[in-house]
């Protein structure tokens, strides 16, 4: 028994305690010996033909390996599970293990596994990652196409770029190899926007629904700045008018410490004569027209000579502007910036 356990030990360490019946046979265990260990509660059956060398709760990586072992040779981790292995931080963790197999496989997956069938699966698998995992670009595209909402899917593509796991160019190259992928046209569009510097879905939404739709000035996106001697990155800035633009989305704004840091940066900017505008999902997705009106009025107060325009017949921009207070306080301006009268935004 000790020799057989030693032969299985390296496999258990690599696979986080999971092993298959075939691997047990390779280490010298017969079916009777495997059954004896299960009955003695040293091992447990996790999936058909897949065992764990312990009886407690299975950690996430153990379940990933168990899913691959159940799927058999040639299988690979895919979709949300593959993104997790590549280091992607999702807004909502996905507990199901996603496994890809050849499209000809016809099996019923056990609870806890979602099976995906791919043609030419080997073409999408990362060449060196262990366990076998599809490339991050293909995982992101497949995940994006599988989500019920197109907006959610586009958000995955934007966020995977924001987290620097890939680039829009690599995603476009991968998309070119998937001509039948669902929502492909929308993906092309959002990847073009991300290439301009809009790194999250919230930023892409602001760019398209607020800025472009209402003809606001173009933001300087991902602008570098100094705050208390440290280099910081703004989501965007209308630098000539001294207006900083921040978007509180899924990443970087969840915790109390982050919010405290945001407030501190805003105060430092205010001491330099700059104002900070912050918008969340509701402002950009649900109230884009109202947000455009408010941003436009602030920019006018800081010296912008233009004006936002309605995005269509149902646009509420004009209604919002009519409810705002008229100009009342003169703005003294920033060095080298246009001067104009301020407008108090109601």
One-character DSSP codes across 107-162:
-PPPTTEEEEEETTGGGGB-SS-SS-BB-HHHHHHHHHHHSSSHHHHHHHHHHHHH
Averages of pLDDT over runs of 10 residues in the chain (346 residues) are 76 95 93 94 94 93 96 94 92 85 82 90 94 96 87 83 90 91 84 73 83 91 53 71 76 45 57 75 83 92 91 92 69 47 31
pLDDT of residue 131: 96
pLDDT at 284: 84
C-alpha–C-alpha distance, residues 117 and 303, integer Å: 57
SS3 309: coil
Domain ranges (residues) in the chain: 2-65, 73-195, 202-343
Task: Kindly write down the DSSP assignment for every residue of 29-71, as one continuous string.
Answer: --HHHHHHHHHTTSSEEEETTEEESS-SPPPHHHHHHHHHHHH
Report which of 269, 302, 283, 305 is spatially closest to residue 211, judged by C-alpha positions: 283
Residue with tokens 């800035």: 237
pLDDT at residue 311, as a whole number: 93
Task: Say if strands 50-52 and 220-227 run parallel, antiparallel, or are unpaired.
Answer: unpaired
Q: Is the dihedral of CA 17, 20, 23, 27 positive or negative?
A: positive
The reply to whether the predicted model has a pTM over 0.75 is no
CB 102, CB 123: distance < 8 Å = no
Kindly report the length of the chain.
Answer: 346
The two three-digit tokens of residue 139, written as one number: 């995982």
What stretch of H or E contains 104? Answer: none
pLDDT, position 103 = 83
pLDDT confidence of residue 342: 32
pLDDT of residue 153: 83
pLDDT of residue 113: 94
């Amino acid at each position: 028994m000790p020799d057989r356990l030693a032969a299985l030990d390296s496999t258990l360490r690599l696979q986080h305690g999971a092993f298959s019946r075939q691997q047990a046979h390779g280490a010298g265990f017969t079916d009777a010996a495997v059954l004896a260990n299960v009955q003695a509660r040293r091992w447990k059956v996790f999936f058909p033909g897949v065992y764990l060398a312990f009886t407690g709760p299975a950690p996430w990586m153990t379940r990933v390996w168990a899913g691959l072992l159940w799927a058999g040779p040639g299988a690979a981790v895919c979709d949300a599970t593959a993104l997790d292995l590549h280091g992607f931080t999702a807004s909502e963790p996905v507990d199901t293990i996603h496994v890809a197999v050849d499209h000809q496989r016809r099996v019923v997956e056990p609870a806890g596994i979602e099976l995906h069938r791919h043609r030419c699966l080997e073409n999408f698998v990362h060449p060196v990652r262990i366990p076998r995992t599809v490339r991050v670009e293909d995982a992101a595209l497949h995940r994006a196409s599988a989500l019920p909402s197109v907006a959610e899917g586009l958000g995955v593509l934007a966020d995977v770029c924001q987290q620097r796991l890939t680039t829009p160019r690599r995603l476009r190259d991968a998309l070119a190899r998937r001509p039948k992928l669902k929502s492909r046209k929308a993906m092309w569009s959002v990847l073009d926007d991300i290439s301009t510097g809009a790194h999250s879905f919230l930023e892409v939404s602001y760019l398209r629904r607020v800025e472009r739709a209402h003809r606001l000035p173009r933001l300087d996106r991902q602008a570098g700045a100094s705050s208390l001697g440290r280099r910081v990155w703004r989501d965007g800035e209308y630098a000539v008018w001294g207006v900083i633009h921040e978007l509180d989305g899924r990443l970087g704004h969840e915790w109390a410490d982050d919010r405290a840091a945001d407030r501190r940066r805003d105060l430092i900017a205010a001491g330099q004569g700059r104002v900070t505008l912050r918008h969340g999902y509701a402002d950009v997705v649900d109230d884009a027209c109202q947000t455009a009106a408010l941003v436009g009025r602030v920019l006018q107060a800081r010296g912008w000579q233009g004006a936002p325009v309605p995005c269509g017949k149902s646009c509420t921009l004009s209604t919002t502007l009519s409810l705002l207070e008229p100009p009342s306080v003169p703005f003294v301006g920033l060095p080298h910036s246009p001067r104009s009268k301020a407008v108090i935004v109601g």
